[in-house]
Each structure stands twice: as structure tokens, then as C-alpha cells.
Structure 1
Amino acid sequence: MTEALIFDMDGTMIDSMGHHAQSWLVFAKKHGLRIEIDDLMRRTTGRTGAECMRELFQRDLANDEAWALIAEKEQLYRERFGPVFAEVAGFKAFYAQALAHGLKLGMGTAGDRHNIAFVLSHLQLAPPPRAIVGGDEGHPGKPEPAIFLEVARQLNASAGGCIVFEDAPFGIEAARRAGMLAVAICSSHTPDQLAGPHVIAAVRDYHELLNSNFLETLHVATS
């Protein structure tokens, strides 16, 4: 029985990954670092801000320094993405239908509270997700399952009753480690890159899920 849907944020709810990549390039240049952006994105997408900065600088930064650096980088991202903000196509319609089906909805992201507030202010979801867990709350980033497990705990849902929506390999793996099913949102990776025995669908966007009546195929737990 499906109790809850848990959504990653960047690349899953919103079409933001290209803007994150651009902000990493600007940030690295400002700090005199040379990076290969595809490699950096592969190593960091789904990890917390502090983990990302330690990966970028390749040293054990103190938490205060790491979070100050990520605040600088994420400000660059918001300045670039804000004027052209876009959801992953069909997300809000899918979210509304999921609510109508009686599902609990949560959000589990490595993004920090500032990016979460930025996204929710643009999406204007009514109501917002019942449980929201971010990457600056002390949990290890993906592929560790802690963020998704905490969302499930706050939703009072069993891990086996949750379906995770993810766009990145680390997030897909985190869902597997959490004992949850997953839907691959292929906005920034191919279906092959997001494959797994627990992945029950791989789609380009939410219109594909709506058009295939995905929600109607679920056996929704009633409380």
C-alpha cells in the first residue's frame, strides 16, 4: 500500500540543474579553482552543501566555513534561476492530483533552508508538503538514506509505503537504501543512469505520469 510520495527538489520539482552548474562555474572561477563541471556535478549532486564544498576544495573544511561558502554559491544560483524559474513540466498538476488521491506528500532535499524557501515561494504549493527535510539539518547527504527516512518519520509513513521521486543517481540509491520504491525523473540523467530494481517508472516529466494514469495504478493506504 502506498502511503506517501517524497520529492527531491532540484531537478525533480524544479528544472534547476543547469543553473546550479552555471553557478558552480562562476563560484569556482571567483575562488581561483579550475573544475570539470560534469565531474563535479556527478560527485556532488544530492550531497549537502558542506559535503559539496569539501569535495570541491578537497580538504576538510570546518562546518562554519563550508556553510559560508555554500551560502555564497547558492546566492549566485538564486540570482540566475529566479528570473527564469521553472518547474519540471507538470509537477504542480501532479502534486495536486496526488493530494486529491489522499497521499501524504513530503520533500527531502540536500538543499538548504534558503533554497527551500526560494523554491516554495515560487511554486506556491497549496498546501505545501506536510514534511520538509533539508540538507542543513544535520543529516548526511545522499546516497545515505537519512533524509528520506526522516521525511517518512515526520509523515508517520513506513519506508515500504513511500515512493521517492528523484533525478540523480545518488538520490535513487538513497531511496534503495531507505527501502523505498522510486520514480526516476529524467530531467538531467538518462533512464539507464537512474536504473535500479526498486525503480518503478522512468519519465521525462510529470505529464508522462499524468498521461499514463500513474496515480490511479497505486493502491493508496487510507488512514
Structure 2
Amino acid sequence: MKYEAYLFDLNGTIIDDMHFHARAWESILNKDLGANLTYDEVVLQMYGKNAELLERVFGKGHFTQEEMDRISLDKEKRYQDEFRPHLKLIDGLDMFLEKAYQAGIKMAIGSAAIPFNIDFVLDNLNLRKYFGAIVSADDVHKSKPDPETFTKAAEQLDIPFERCLVFEDAPKGIEAAQNATMDALCITTLHPEEDFKQYNNVVKFIADYRGLPLL
């Protein structure tokens, strides 16, 4: 096996939930806040921290930090309420995680999600034993495509960057891995392969984890 550590994004990579996030954001941005964005325009803004998304759409200073925190939490509660009946691992990931765990490959979560959402997934699906490090939106100064999320996860696992493989579903996440000098495996839950053609660090595209060997 080439890699000593696997660094997983969460949403769209461990669970197939990005359409639920998009619908929650579409509702808040348009119905509550009057942004008047199409669904596809909402999807394009879905990277980084929630506050960063709000600032990209409305401009810096439009909301106070307290207002952005309230909007962010409201969005996550709407997302969780709608997604909870569908909460499950992407097909094949249960077997892949167990194989990696038994093989001694270190694993971490590197996500722009807030702890409220990470805990929602890890605790409800009983995944904590697999991950030796968890890096959330609250743990970094700069979110993806800045490499800090993944470099911090690698440092916590004590694995050199070049020995890490990042699992991602979003172009900005793949870019963050590239900026960290890490290879990436791309799962096409939300974005098609052509959305990643500008990156040279993708070693494999998958639709799900069924039959995926350790790398």
C-alpha cells in the first residue's frame, strides 16, 4: 500500500448528503434572506465555512458574526431534520473503513463542517473508532482550498503529507489537497469528473466505495 493515512472530507464523501445541504441553503438564502440564487448557483457557493459562504453571497460586513452564527446553526438544524431518515454511509464505505482499520492505516476527518454536524454523523453511525484525528471548521484559520484542514489532520496523525491520501467530493477540497502536496481520490456524489480536470493530484474517481481496494 502506498499511503499510510487516509484523510476524509465528511459531507458528500462519507455520507451522500450534499443535495440536502444545498436545499437547506437554497431555502435560507432565497426565502429567508432574499439572495435570489438558482439551485446551481447555491451549489457553486458551497465550500468553506458557513460564514464565508454568507460573505461571498452578501459581502463582508452585511451580517454581524452573531447573525452569521445564528443563520449557520439554523441551516444545520434544517439539514439534519431533513437528512436524518436517510443517514447512512455511502455504499461500500463500511467495509473499506474496516479494512483500512485492520490494516493499520491511520484515518482522520478533515471537514469544513462545524462540530455540530460532524458529531451528528460520527455518533449516529458509530464511526469514532476509525478516526484518530478530527479537524473541523472551528479548528482552522483558513478553510479549503487552503491546505490547513488537511495539513493539520496529517500533523495530528504524525504522517508526512506525501504519505496521505485525501478522499473528497468537491473541487475546492481537491484543490486543498493539491495545495497540501497530497494525492486525492474523488467521489462523484455531487460533481462530475469534468469539474476536476484542472487538478493533477487525483489518482482515482469513484461513484461509491464498493469493491475499492486499499491504496
| Correspondence list, 1:30-45, <5 A | 30-45=32-47
Deviates more, 1:134-143 or 1:5-14: 134-143
The 1:137/1:63 distance shift into structure 2, 3 A limit, reads: farther
How many residues are matched? 211
Write the deviation string for residues 12-61 of structure 1: whole angstroms up to 9, x where unpaired.
0001011011111221212333112212221223x112111212323334
- Structure 2 gap segments, 5+ residues each: none
- Are 1:165 and 1:183, in contact at CA under 8 Å, matched by a contact in 2? yes
CA deviations 1:94-140 (Å, max 9, x no partner) are 11111111100001000001000101122212514110000122431
RMSD between aligned residues = 1.5
Question: Match of 1:144, SS?
Answer: coil
Counterpart check, 1:25 vs 2:26: yes
The equivalences for 1:1-223 within 5 A come to 1-28=2-29, 29-45=31-47, 47-60=48-61, 61-125=63-127, 127-195=129-197, 196-209=199-212, 214-215=213-214, 218=215
Is the Cα contact below 8 Å between 1:180 and 1:198 reproduced in 2?
Answer: yes
Q: Which letter does structure 2 place at the counterpart of 1:86?
A: K
Q: Percent identity?
A: 35
Contact 1:53 1:66 in 2 (8 A): yes
> For residue 221 of structure 1, what is the aligned residue in structure 2?
none
More deviation in 32-41 or 91-100? 32-41
1-side partners of 2:84 and 2:178: how far apart?
32
- TM-score of the pair, normalised by structure 1: 0.89
SS in 1 for 2:165: strand
Segments of 4+ in structure 1 off by > 4 A?
A: none
Q: Which runs of 5+ in 1 are unaligned?
A: 219-223
Q: Tell me how far apart the structure 2 counterparts of residues 166 and 40 of structure 1 sit (CA, whole Å).
A: 19
